[in-house]
């Protein structure tokens, strides 16, 4: 096959039809800021971001806020309202601020997703207007999906309000909802216009979600960055005790590792089936569904990491001492390593969690690709997961849970 570089016309003796090869690329760019007290009257950051393309116009802004955050921070809505009112030459609210139910349950309510599409549509936004979403990963995913659909995409500014959303969910290019009992079954790839991480929003976060975000940080450290893992391990007690300096460092480091992965990993829109950052997630996603979302994403990820860490050790990718370093560090941070649903059996007598492997493969398409730790700070990709070894890993994890008797849930 030959391609005429001028016209991109393709000549192929085997298939003599006329063909013009369409090739172009679009650079994506979005800033990720780390700040405090974002909507304080004197903080000019948000206004600067809205005008970051120097359009010098008055932008319409449709605002969505997570219900859990509104409950925990009752003054927040007024703060946003007066921030916008003080800059009425630069921005104006499109309709009222919409409160979106927080948490994973909302992500599996497809009628809510439809409602949000309508809410964005009714706000008469043009493609130079903004959707501002403030909330946890679930609300960001929901509102992100809605705003990527209206007019085939309006500008989205994310203000993540959980540790997990600031260091993972909020800084990437994906959004989605759960359909048919499958996590993230429907969604789009849509890079945001900007991300503003405000550490002060984390103050009201319940312990479960504070710790849950640290599980994602462990995930990245274990497979990508041994120094980051060492930091997490040596600061486990501080992180558990909500030390602000420690969490800020972890959020920033983890977010930057994510950005680096998206920018340099060669597959930002996940067209292939490799998903290194899904370490620990095949079982985590299944656990969330099996628990009817009673187990939070971060907690499920911690258990998923523990299971795959035992598995990797049984397979010879990880020494016993590295395995125990990982497991002890998760436990010291206050993250769960076990849930009885891991041992739940189907009517056929097999572990229900194993179904997660098939669903994971279906989601990725093509060959199964599961990332496991290879030592600490490096990874290996495997194409099959031996059910007998998984069961052995579950048994060992269970034995440890009984011995240590840490009742997390
Ligand atoms: N799009 C992606 O790339 C990506 C990546 C990782 C995870 N995720 C998704 O993110 C979701 C998990 O997000 P999460 O861990 O942020 O949890 P979450 O969004 O489900 O929020 C957890 C709870 O905290 C409340 N909340 C949010 N901010 C608060 C605050 N500052 N103070 C008090 N309460 C607050 C919410 O109302 C909710 O009840 C999962 O659905 C997961 O699949 C998406
Ligand atoms: Zn995750």
Ligand 1: does its nearest atom lie under 6 Å from the Cβ of 312? Answer: no
Instruction: Determine the pLDDT at residue 11.
Output: 65
Q: How confident is the model at residue 274 (pLDDT cuts 50, 70, 90)?
A: confident
Instruction: Determine the pLDDT at residue 406.
Output: 66
Provide mean pLDDT across the span 74-97. 97
Q: Which atom of ligand 1 is the closest one to the Cα of 216?
A: 6
Pocket test for ligand 1, best of 75, 106, 138 (most atoms within 8 A of CB): 138
Q: Identify the residue whose tokens are 């099959």.
A: 384
Average pLDDT in the chain: 93
Ligand 1: does its nearest atom lie under 6 Å from the Cβ of 72? Answer: yes
The dihedral of CA 385, 389, 391, 393: what is its sign? negative
Q: How confident is the model at residue 273 (pLDDT cuts 50, 70, 90)?
A: low
Closest CA to ligand 1's atom 44: 169
Q: For residues 182 and 289, what is the distance between their CA atoms, to the nearest angstrom? A: 7
- pLDDT tens for 185-239 read 999 999 999 999 999 999 999 999 999 999 999 999 999 999 999 999 999 999 9
Ligand 1: does its nearest atom lie under 6 Å from the Cβ of 103? Answer: yes
Does the structure show a pLDDT above 80 at 367? yes
Provide mean pLDDT across the span 259-280. 87
Does the structure show a pLDDT above 90 at 93? yes
Q: Nearest-5° angle of CA 105, CA 61, CA 32? A: 70
Q: Is 231 helix (H, G, I), strand (E, B) or coil?
A: helix
Does the structure show a pLDDT above 70 at 167? yes
Provide mean pLDDT across the span 149-160. 96
Q: Identify the residue whose tokens are 């995913």.
A: 141
**Ligand whose nearest atom lies closest to the CA of 217:** 2
Ligand 1: does its nearest atom lie under 6 Å from the Cβ of 104? Answer: yes
Q: For residues 235 and 250, what is the distance between their CA atoms, to the nearest angstrom? A: 10
Instruction: Determine the pLDDT at residue 408.
Output: 65
Q: Which atom of ligand 1 is the closest one to the Cα of 107?
A: 41
Instruction: Determine the pLDDT at residue 271.
Output: 85
Look at the pTM and tell me if it is higher than 0.85. Answer: yes
Ligand 1: does its nearest atom lie under 6 Å from the Cβ of 160? Answer: no
- pLDDT tens for 4-45 read 666 666 667 777 677 788 889 999 999 999 999 999 999 999
Q: Which atom of ligand 1 is the closest one to the Cα of 104?
A: 20
* Residues contacting 166, CB < 8 A, separation 6+: 160, 197, 199, 202, 213, 251, 255
Ligand 1: does its nearest atom lie under 6 Å from the Cβ of 174? Answer: yes
Instruction: Determine the pLDDT at residue 317.
Output: 98
How remote is the CA of residue 296 from the centroid of ligand 1, in Å? 9
How remote is the CA of residue 164 from the centroid of ligand 1, in Å? 7
Nearest to 137 by CA among 66, 44, 36, 196: 66
Does the structure show a pLDDT above 80 at 322? yes
**Ligand whose nearest atom lies closest to the CA of 284:** 2
Contact 56, 89 (CB under 8 A): no
Q: Is 172 helix (H, G, I), strand (E, B) or coil?
A: coil
Ligand 1: does its nearest atom lie under 6 Å from the Cβ of 280? Answer: no
Ligand 1: does its nearest atom lie under 6 Å from the Cβ of 161? Answer: yes
pLDDT exceeding 70 applies to what percent of the chain?
A: 95
Does the structure show a pLDDT above 90 at 366? no
Ligand 1: does its nearest atom lie under 6 Å from the Cβ of 164? Answer: yes
Q: Is 344 helix (H, G, I), strand (E, B) or coil?
A: coil
Q: Which atom of ligand 1 is the closest one to the Cα of 101?
A: 37
Ligand 1: does its nearest atom lie under 6 Å from the Cβ of 170? Answer: no
**Ligand whose nearest atom lies closest to the CA of 133:** 1
Instruction: Determine the pLDDT at residue 272.
Output: 78
């Amino acid at each position: 096959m030959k391609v005429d570089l001028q016209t991109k016309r393709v000549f192929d003796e085997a298939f003599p039809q006329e063909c013009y090869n369409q090739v172009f690329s679009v650079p994506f760019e979005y800033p990720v800021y780390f700040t405090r007290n974002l909507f304080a009257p004197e903080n000019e950051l948000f206004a600067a971001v809205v005008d970051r393309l120097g359009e010098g116009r008055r932008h319409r802004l449709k605002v969505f806020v997570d219900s859990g955050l509104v409950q925990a921070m009752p003054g927040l809505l007024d703060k946003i309202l007066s921030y916008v009112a003080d800059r009425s030459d630069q921005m104006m609210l499109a309709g009222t601020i919409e409160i979106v139910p927080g948490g994973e349950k909302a992500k599996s309510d497809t009628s809510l997703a439809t409602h949000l599409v309508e809410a964005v549509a009714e706000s008469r936004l043009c493609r130079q207007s903004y959707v501002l979403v403030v909330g946890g990963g679930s609300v960001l995913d929901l509102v992100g999906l809605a705003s990527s659909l209206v007019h085939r995409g309006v500008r989205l500014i994310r203000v993540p309000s959980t540790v997990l959303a600031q260091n993972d969910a909020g800084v990437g290019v994906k959004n989605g909802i759960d359909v048919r009992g499958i996590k993230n079954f429907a969604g789009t790839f849509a890079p945001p216009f900007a991300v503003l991480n405000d550490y002060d929003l984390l103050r009201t976060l319940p312990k479960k979600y504070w710790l849950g975000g640290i599980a994602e940080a462990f995930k990245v450290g274990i497979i990508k960055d041994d120094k980051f893992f060492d930091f997490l391990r040596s600061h486990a007690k501080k992180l558990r005790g909500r030390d602000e300096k420690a969490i800020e460092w972890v959020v920033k480091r983890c977010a930057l590792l994510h950005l680096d992965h998206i920018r340099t990993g060669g597959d930002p829109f996940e067209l292939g089936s490799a998903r290194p950052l899904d370490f620990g997630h095949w079982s985590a996603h299944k656990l969330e569904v099996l628990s009817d979302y009673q187990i939070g994403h971060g907690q499920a990820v911690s258990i998923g990491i523990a299971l795959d860490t035992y598995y990797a050790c049984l397979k010879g990718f990880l020494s016993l001492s590295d395995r125990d370093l990982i497991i002890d560090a998760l436990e010291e941070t206050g993250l769960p390593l076990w849930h009885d649903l891991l041992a739940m059996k189907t009517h056929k007598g097999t572990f229900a969690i194993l179904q997660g492997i098939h669903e994971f493969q279906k989601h990725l398409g093509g060959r199964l690709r599961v990332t496991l730790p290879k030592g600490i700070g490096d990874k290996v990709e495997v194409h099959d997961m031996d059910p007998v070894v998984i069961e052995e890993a579950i048994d060992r994890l269970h034995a440890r849970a009984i011995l240590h008797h840490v009742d997390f849930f």
